[in-house]
Amino acid sequence: MARELKESNYNVLFFGNAGAGKTSLAIAMMNELAATKTTMFVSMIEWLAMKYQSFSDDRLANQVYGLEQMMKDVDVLVLDDLGKDSQREAKETAAKMLFQVANARTEKTTIITTN
């Protein structure tokens, strides 16, 4: 799949039980693609935590904005642990964040891991 992604762009979803190796596989693919494409790994849990903290911290808000711009621009984006947050409000916030990023990622590759 990584060889195919060197020549084309499409999205990949890895799902399964905890400990199945989803993140390791996504990172291995990302590392293979890094030779020819820009790549980025983002933990959904960390991104969401940073987003919440940025609401009361202007310096962090600027960092989160920069992070999100890079997520939109990078050739290959790995989003790890989608849906791990359990609160309804967190899921709605994450969905809005993801829509904004996904909307900007046409003709690019996104690799997602989730349970």
Find the domain containing 74 and state its range. 2-114
Nearest to 42 by CA among 92, 87, 82, 95: 82
How many other CB atoms are found less than 10 A from the CB of residue 69? 12
Q: CATH number for the domain including 36?
A: 3.40.50.300
pLDDT number for residue 79: 95
* C-alpha triplet 15, 48, 2: angle, nearest 5°: 40
pLDDT number for residue 58: 93
**pLDDT tens-digit readout, 43-64:** 988 988 898 898 899 999 999 9
Q: How many domains does the chain have?
A: 1
**pLDDT tens-digit readout, 4-22:** 999 999 999 999 998 999 9
Q: Which two tokens stand for residue 37?
A: 């494409």
